[in-house]
Amino acid sequence: MRQRFDFGSYGETRQFLDQLADLSKREDYYPDVSFGKTYVNISIDGTGQTILHERDSSFILDMQKLAGQMRN
């Protein structure tokens, strides 16, 4: 699963990355992350299966909530 999050400023991008780092530490789960000034790309390997595991899906939902908070 790959997802791109776009933000209005570097500050919003940085805040999202910091919160994503906190989420990763809390869940002990570290997706592949690349980013630029106003975007973040996340890549999550579904551990080689077509359907992402429940843990992956939960992390994805939490990550999307964080991004939504940055945009509001």
Per-residue pLDDT tens digits of the chain, which is 72 residues long: 889 999 999 999 999 999 999 999 988 888 899 999 999 999 987 655 544 565 556 787 888 888 887 665
64: phi then psi, degrees, rounded to nearest 5: -65, -35
| Domains of the chain in sequence order | 2-71 (3.30.1360.20)
CA 5, chain centre distance (Å) = 8
Helices 54-71 and 10-27, axial angle in degrees (round to 10): 150
30, 24 Cβ separation under 8 angstroms: yes
Q: What's the whole-model pTM score?
A: 0.75
29, 55 Cβ separation under 8 angstroms: yes
